Amino acid sequence: MAQFLLITTLLTIAGLIATITMGFLASPAHAAQHVLAALVTMLVGLFSQSMTMFFFIGSGKEIKEKVKGAADEAAVVQRTRVFKSRVFPAAMYSILILMVTFITGGGVALGKTPRWMHLILAFTTLVMYGRAYWVEIRAMSENARLMEKYLAD
């Protein structure tokens, strides 16, 4: 599951790059392709980050239940909290900036939002998803070690 979530984050990054490129190259006649690519990228991006948060909630709960009463329970519970405290802000900010970028794209199409603002937001979204990927891959690696140790039967 963790690999799938990381792949969806990479797909989002690839989709952002493709969508930004299409935005630069699109003529008004081809703007619909840019909008469609943005919509698909946004849906995959929202899925990837929200499911990543649920993954850490679920795996953390399983690990906590398994170590209940063990000598190292407090240390293990603290490690699961550390994963969440790293991943959740990165995921939430990525989701937030992705939605704002998508919404301002609609503003650009209506002539209500300047293109430069949408462009800055698009590149910020790309950076935020790159950062989220980096944070998540490290946290998932550490989480996998905990799962192997405590959930392997």
Distance of alpha carbon 23 from alpha carbon 132, whole angstroms: 24
d(C-alpha 63, C-alpha 7), whole Å: 24
Percent of the chain with pLDDT over 70: 99
Q: Which of 13, 151, 1, 153 is nearest to 76 (CA)?
A: 151
Domain holding 82, by residue range, is 2-151
Q: What is the pTM of this model?
A: 0.90
- Per-residue pLDDT reduced to its tens digit, 75-102: 888 988 998 999 999 999 999 999 999 9
Counted residue by residue, the chain has a size of: 153
The total number of structural domains in the chain stands at: 1
